[in-house]
A and B are shown apart, each in its own frame.
Chain A
Amino acid sequence: MKAPLSWIREYAALPDDVTADDLAARLTALGLKLEAIERPGHDLTGPLVVGRVLTMEPEPQKNGKTINWCTVDVGDANGTGEPQGIVCGAHNFGVGDLVVVVLPGGVLPGGFEIAARKTYGHVSAGMICSTRELGLGDDHDGILVLPADAGQPGDDVLELLDLRDEVLELEVNPDRAYALSLRGVAREAALGLGVAFHDPAERDVPPADGAGPAVAIEDPEGCPVFVARTVSGFDPTAPTPDWMARRLALVGQRSISLAVDVTNYVMFELGRPIHGYDADKLTGTVGVRRARAGERLTTLDGTDRALSPEDLVVTDDSGIIGLGGVMGGQTTEMSATTTRVLVESAHWDGPSMFRTGRRHKLTSEAGRRNERGVDPEVCEAAADRVVTLLAELGGGTVEPGVTVVGAPPARRTVTIPLDLPARVTGMDIASHTVLAHLEAVGCRVETGPDTLTAELPSWRPDLADPFDLVEEVARIVGYEHVPSVLPPAPSGRGLTPAQTMRRRVGRTMAGEGYVEVLTFPFVGEADLDRLGLATDDPRRTTLRLANPLSAEEPLMTTTLLPGLLATVARNVGRGAGDLALFEVAPVTRPRGDGAPILGVDRRPDAAEWEALNAAVPEQPLHLALAVAGERDRSGWWGEGRTAIWADAVETARVVARALGLELTVRSAALAPWHPGRCAELLVDGVSVGHAGELHPRVCRDLGVPARTALAELDLDALLSRAVPARAPEFSTFPVAKEDVALVVDADLPAAELAATLREGAGPLLEGLRLFDVWTGPPVPEGRKSLAFALRFRAPDRTLTEQDTAAAREAAVALAAQRHGAEQRA
């Protein structure tokens, strides 16, 4: 909301020395936050004076233009009292007119300095100004001709035209609709500076007389008050006076025509949106009702709209003529030939306005005010102000009939304990202060021994609850007086185990050399296609956004891989070669039949709460990692090591170990992994994720390095199974080491053979480590050799050679029996 200081001063008795900055600081402290201060005219320096054109000689020039050689009476402003000779290129004025003259030494907006200079064979000592040159707007191209009674030659125009002003641009929160008017801003200004406020809505209005335009309201809930007045004999060519155009320009409203400008002016003045109809285009009774299914309306903006039965419409005998409170219709629009104006000043139901505006994607100054709540008691005053201005400025007459249908709702009351503001804010606020401040905001207050009852001002529909009154008192006392006190310390339990472990996972990943990224959870079908997900892959069951930012990404992702791989590609594109990235974030798995909208007057009962939660999608936390390029870099120390599928599997194991879990691994085939290089990861037989090498085709499609390895784990599944670390029991007797190389079928998973060896060797086996894998001669085709280092130890004695050999032989025997393993010589 833009509020010119000069306009505020009209209603608030601000001391002369109060600056825009002072006032802005007070308004900000009261909750109308300053966005900016504009200072129009402040780049304008006089002498800028009224001049009367005495002579005017047209002189055609060689370049085809005709200039006017004028002499202008500027009174004593030029120091001599002699007429001033000025060359002027414009022609829209004549001898005897009052114009604005800037004399040598003056500066016009844009730093344009005026000096006497020789031009077209004359010395031109100054300039006759246009509106644009004065910074008054750019609607007119010609010279600004002042009304004949504007002043005397030599008068200071800066003062005369209020060319200098300061405009406060204020941020108005949705609850403070009253501040979308000068009436409201000035009221706050008066409140902030403790000065008198003159309410522009307080005017004597003629009472309803039943002789006005015929109006029938079918829906008094949607339209509780409808005031109609008529002005006839209006001159549609009458110009908007400069003062009004200027004020409209200052609040950011373009001047359109006198009739429209007057309705806008009163809207900015009183906050009440007004609609004007061409009364000659109306037929019969004006009505208000809800639209019927299938009805349509072409609004002022030329859009043909299908109406909803919830929309409030204005009708006459011809049908629908407007979308009530939001936008008028084309058929009854005021035009350049309108001479009779019906003025509608109606109070509309805010929520209906909000819904209609949202449904039709219509935002307007009127809608903005109507949906947030306008003072219902100001309808008659606003209508009267409009018809008076129309008649005054447009040469018409106000028709005597006044129609008022309905009445503003009675003012509501709220009762609060006198000490409530103090109790809620922690400030020391005496009862009389509470009383005084509530009266200052417009409440009529009655006090009891411990309570007060406030009758709420009609212009504050946002006030409804006791705590609303607390805020009113608190903001006037000043939030800066709220003391700083620590609340009592609760006995909290610290982070939950899951929260602690999540941090541990992040630190473990960083320790492993992975960099954490955060990506958006939005994907499209194409992203899932590129991963090669099967049509029945559960990751294709997604939640769809109704209003995605990008039509390509309308889905909530079910896997972190698209975002992570896109990030890999982006880094590669920026020249990074060796990458290890991870992300920890939830994925979305839709479920249920929708969440209920519950009441808000009580806590949901157990069944409602359960139903609500059951409808919220499952959102398990996932961990995804990707590694590409060299995992160990090459350098002067020698060759590095390129990351392979096994890095992804091992990192998953490291993370699991950090949570006290040992993953088991088995081969699997799942997109987007390489079908021969995909490991399924399990804890206690439950699948918790996959790891391995990215499918080469997917690598190509996504532009990530060949052989990129990646893993995705259900972190919640891991966290829920995590076990705290336990101290190991270890023997200090000597270790016995044995190596064994076994030849098995090439497709036997190493993990399976290792498990068999463990089982066969029995409890004396302390540990085993695969240290070599060999295929090729002398190992026969279709077979491979796996070499294990076994460590044996007993808890209670030194093992004999026989003990160790027996255990080793038992392991080999079981491997032979189960897998056809042969010992390699």
Chain B
Amino acid sequence: MSGPNSEYDPVQVTPLDEEHVEAMRVAALEAVQGATDLADLKRVRTEHAGDRSPLALANREIGALPPQARKDAGRRVGQARGAVTQALAARQAELEVEAEARMLAEETVDVTLPWDRRPTGARHPITMLSERIADVFVAMGWEVAEGPLVEAEWLNFDALNLGPDHPARTMQDTFWTEPAEHHLVLRTQTSPVQARAMLTRTPPIYVVSPGRVFRTDEYDATHSPMFHQVEGLVIDSGITMAHLRGSLDHMLGVLFGEGIRTRFRPSYFPFTEPSAEMDMVCFVCRGLAPAIEDCRTCKGEGWIELGGCGVVNPRVLVACGVDPDRYTGFAFGFGIDRMLMFRHGVSDMRDMFEGDVRFSTAFGSDL
């Protein structure tokens, strides 16, 4: 550094003259502009804006000028340094954007690569449909009742007005157990759960009971020795067949869409009187021409057979300890497997019980 210049001589301090400062400014700006990447720019920054850069050195000479000359020189150098700093910042930003773009381009991957590291799990559609049906009734305030699969003969038959010599016992091909005098069967229907509900609860009773049942049917595309039913039971004062229809219509509306109505046909079940078979209007063609003609779901019938229902036979109420003079009730039951078949297009019942992972996986974890 020069000593204080008390005797003003502008010529003596060359670096601060106008041309010189301008040259340094231009050289710095060109270098900044010429920097090709962030590392280069860093070098340029040291060279042209660092402590040892020409402009920084020139700046130090300002003190050597006579006071009257300092102002001009200071402004000149300051402006030049400012311009260089600004250019550096701008170039820095530019180069950062470029660098990021380059990096992102380099990191490009094939997003179509599969990532099936973890095999997918699934619940069984029968389980899920059972829950779905139960939930419709639970939402109405009903409760879900359950019972054992191996059941007392009395609960599966006698209590339901199916006495030992009732011809209807042969309607249901029963799995009997040994020894016969133990009177145990694989339940042929979920109805013993109804009997249990009546025997363990006090009216009003509003229960729905999905579950496994067994019959000695040969195993084929439409029969299985094990299948699933859901039954509903209501015992309350003033209950009529109209409430039965209302409950079923509501359930079908929730499961299949508004306006799916039921049709009742007189039928016979020992535990109900009057009894009815219930059909639902086909949810695909809605029984309307011309869709009905080619409807594969109802095979052109317009109706889908659902199951049986009726008013609880007072004999059943008596055996199950409900006062038939005070209460009436209704009950219904239908096959969950069958509903899964027509609701989701399952064509072979065996697919449900063979456990092929491709079957359940197709249904995911909720229906």
- Asked if A597 is an interface residue, CB under 8 A from chain B, the answer is yes
Per-residue B-contact encoding for A355-375, CB less than 8 Å = 1, 0 else: 100100000000000011000
Cβ distance B174 to chain A, nearest Cβ, rounded Å: 8
The chain A residue with its CB closest to the CB of B120 is A513
> Which A343-357 residues have C-beta < 8 A from chain B?
350-351, 354-355
Per-residue B-contact encoding for A584-627, CB less than 8 Å = 1, 0 else: 11101000111111111111100001001001110100000000
Per-residue A-contact encoding for B45-89, CB less than 8 Å = 1, 0 else: 000000000000000000000000000000000000000000000
- Asked if B41 is an interface residue, CB under 8 A from chain A, the answer is no
The CA-CA distance from A351 to B165 in the complex, in Å, is 5
The CA-CA distance from A479 to B267 in the complex, in Å, is 11
- Asked if B142 is an interface residue, CB under 8 A from chain A, the answer is yes
Interface residues of A, count at CB 8 A: 111
The chain A residue with its CB closest to the CB of B122 is A515
Task: List the B side residues contacting A596 at CB < 8 Å.
Answer: 154, 183
Choose one: B121, B143, B274, B313; the contact of A513 (CB below 8 Å): B121
Among B239, B241, B354, B365: residue with most chain A CB under 10 A: B241
Segment among B9-17, B95-103, B145-153 that sits at the interface with chain A = B145-153
Task: List the A side residues contacting B148 at CB < 8 Å.
Answer: 586, 616-617, 619
Task: List the B side residues contacting A518 at CB < 8 Å.
Answer: 124, 126-127, 226, 352-353, 355
Compute the total of residue contacts between A and B using a CB distance below 8 Å.
308
Contact A485/B182 with A479-B266, A579-B357 known, Cβ cut-off 8 Å: no
Per-residue B-contact encoding for A623-640, CB less than 8 Å = 1, 0 else: 000000001110111001
Cβ distance B367 to chain A, nearest Cβ, rounded Å: 12
Segment among A24-32, A70-78, A101-109 that sits at the interface with chain B = A24-32
- A-B interface, 8 closest residue pairs, ranked by CB to CB distance from nearest: A603-B321, A426-B242, A31-B266, A426-B240, A471-B274, A517-B355, A567-B355, A594-B182
- Asked if A547 is an interface residue, CB under 8 A from chain B, the answer is yes
- Asked if A797 is an interface residue, CB under 8 A from chain B, the answer is no
Cβ distance A511 to chain B, nearest Cβ, rounded Å: 6
Task: List the A side residues contacting B283 at CB < 8 Å.
Answer: none
Task: List the A side residues contacting B246 at CB < 8 Å.
Answer: 483-487
Cβ distance B249 to chain A, nearest Cβ, rounded Å: 5
Among A465, A490, A604: residue with most chain B CB under 10 A: A490
Interface residues of B, count at CB 8 A: 106
- Asked if A540 is an interface residue, CB under 8 A from chain B, the answer is no
CB-based contact A486/B274 at 8 Å? no
CB-based contact B170/A492 at 8 Å? no
Task: List the A side residues contacting B268 at CB < 8 Å.
Answer: 31, 173-176
What are 23 A-to-B residue pairs whose CB atoms are below 8 Å?
A175-B268, A424-B241, A427-B242, A468-B273, A475-B266, A484-B249, A487-B243, A489-B140, A490-B141, A491-B141, A513-B118, A513-B120, A515-B357, A521-B149, A571-B357, A595-B154, A597-B164, A600-B161, A600-B319, A604-B199, A612-B152, A615-B184, A631-B119
- Asked if B117 is an interface residue, CB under 8 A from chain A, the answer is yes
Chain A interface (Cβ within 8 Å of chain B)? Answer: 28-31, 33, 173-176, 350-351, 354-355, 358, 371-372, 423-427, 465-468, 470-471, 474-475, 479-480, 482-496, 499, 503, 506-507, 509-522, 543-549, 556, 567, 570-571, 574, 576, 578-581, 584-586, 588, 592-604, 609, 612, 615-617, 619, 631-633, 635-637, 640
Cβ distance A148 to chain B, nearest Cβ, rounded Å: 48
> Which B311-366 residues have C-beta < 8 A from chain A?
311, 313-315, 318-321, 328, 352-357, 360-361, 365
Cβ distance A617 to chain B, nearest Cβ, rounded Å: 5
Per-residue A-contact encoding for B104-140, CB less than 8 Å = 1, 0 else: 0000000001111111111110110001001000101
CB-based contact B150/A515 at 8 Å? no
CB-based contact B116/A635 at 8 Å? yes
CB-based contact B236/A487 at 8 Å? yes
The chain B residue with its CB closest to the CB of A470 is B274
- Asked if B19 is an interface residue, CB under 8 A from chain A, the answer is no
Task: List the A side residues contacting B295 at CB < 8 Å.
Answer: none
- Asked if B277 is an interface residue, CB under 8 A from chain A, the answer is yes
Given contacts A354-B166, A546-B176, 14 further A-B contacts (CB under 8 A): A350-B165, A467-B311, A485-B240, A485-B242, A490-B141, A492-B142, A494-B138, A499-B146, A556-B150, A592-B182, A600-B319, A603-B199, A612-B154, A633-B116
The CA-CA distance from A712 to B240 in the complex, in Å, is 46
Choose one: B120, B226, B321; the contact of A602 (CB below 8 Å): B321
